[in-house]
Amino acid sequence: MLSALVVGAGRAGAGLHLPVLRGMGYGRGRAVGRPPIVVVDPGVAVAEQPGVVVAPTLAHAASLLDPARTAVHLCTPPTARLRPLTELAGLGFRHVLVEKPLATSTEELAAVLRLREAAGLDLVPVAQWRCSELTRRIAGVVAGGELGALRSIVFTQTKPRFGRTLRGDEHPTAFDVEVPHSLAVALSIAGPARVTAAGVSDMLLGDAVFTELGGAWVRLAHRGARTEIRTDLTAPVRERRITVELEHGTLVGHYPVSAADEYAQLLVRNRGAQSHSVFRDDSLTAFIARAHEHFAGGRPILDEPATGAEVVRLLDDAKRLAARVAVGAAR
């Protein structure tokens, strides 16, 4: 079993990755062969927990662990990737699970990929919807061909995000919050894509304006199909819905909206008939377990970080296109 190092104790690190690691058996004691979880975040007070060791610096963490046998969970804000990655590489860490997105621009992505090549890093960007049971079932229907060729995919993602935006979690735009999850799924189901249109809106809260953090949308063209992704971070309700149109049927799926309920739903409409199923779908646990298996020398993840890098490129194209549209509208 690899050791585990969580870098960044914000929402992703402490709220998502840490509970998953504890559920996988980390922190239960060396007597039963379970190493502790080491957490590093000088800017956040990490609550004391059994089996969790808080280190003040990455260098101190490296003295507590064997870097070559450690899975690093890099959960710093998306604008703070390169510096900790560089320090981790210098300390001998090589296996790094990076919260989405891998970078927030193609320039930063190029620097991350150069570091990966120079230091021999094994980078796996977080894309848990790719390990979702809902995604697996939808991809199976599409690949099976029983309902004909794929025509379109539409993602609708809504949630109120006022509090986290007020606290400032360093997501530069709405494109960087929910859209990366959907892009990874669209690429896995429909194949390579290019951006054809995009837009972004501000978040208004009283007299405050949070630029480009209200919502975003992007349209993609695949070979023979199209994808549209819409995210609204000012909505009063939470929803993560995917609608897949095929020649002879429609699939409507609902991903779990939070860790409070880990069940997904899938509705299949086919020639006047329909079926509805509800099933457990803890995709983050499945993805992290899969990444640890990869890091430990088990089944390799062959398409990363290539897919994560392509997500960043598409996001960058969408941001540039949305900016041009905004400038044109202002004129």
| pLDDT per position as a tens digit, 154-164 | 999 999 999 98
**3-state SS class at 315:** helix
- With 0.75 as the threshold, say if the pTM is over it: yes
pLDDT reported for residue 331: 55
Domain ranges of the chain: 3-125, 128-330
Q: What is the pLDDT of residues 229-243, one digit of tens each?
A: 999 999 999 999 999
Q: What is the pLDDT of residues 123-168, one digit of tens each?
A: 999 999 999 999 999 999 999 999 999 999 999 999 999 998 998 8
Residue with tokens 């975040």: 41
Give residue 6's Cα distance to chain centre.
Answer: 16
HSE value, Cβ hemisphere, 13 Å, CA-based, for 219: 8
Contact 308, 125 (CB under 8 A): yes
Q: What is the pLDDT of residues 185-200, one digit of tens each?
A: 999 999 999 999 999 9
Residues 6+ apart with CB under 8 A from 294: 122, 124, 300, 301
Topology of domain 128-330 in CATH is Dihydrodipicolinate Reductase; domain 2 (3.30.360)
Do domains 3-125 and 128-330 share one topology? The answer is no
Cβ neighbours, 10 Å, residue 248: 12
Rg (CA), the chain: 20
- Quickly state the pLDDT bin for 93 (edges 50, 70, 90): very high
Cα separation of 165 and 275, whole Å? 39
The secondary structure of 2-39 as a DSSP string is -EEEEE--SIIIIIIIHHHHHHTTTTSBGGGTBPPEEE
Q: Name which of 29, 36, 31 is nearest 3 in CA terms.
A: 36
Give residue 232's Cα distance to chain centre.
Answer: 17
Angle between helices 306-330 and 106-119 (to 10 degrees): 160
Which CATH superfamily is 3-125 part of?
Answer: NAD(P)-binding Rossmann-like Domain (3.40.50.720)
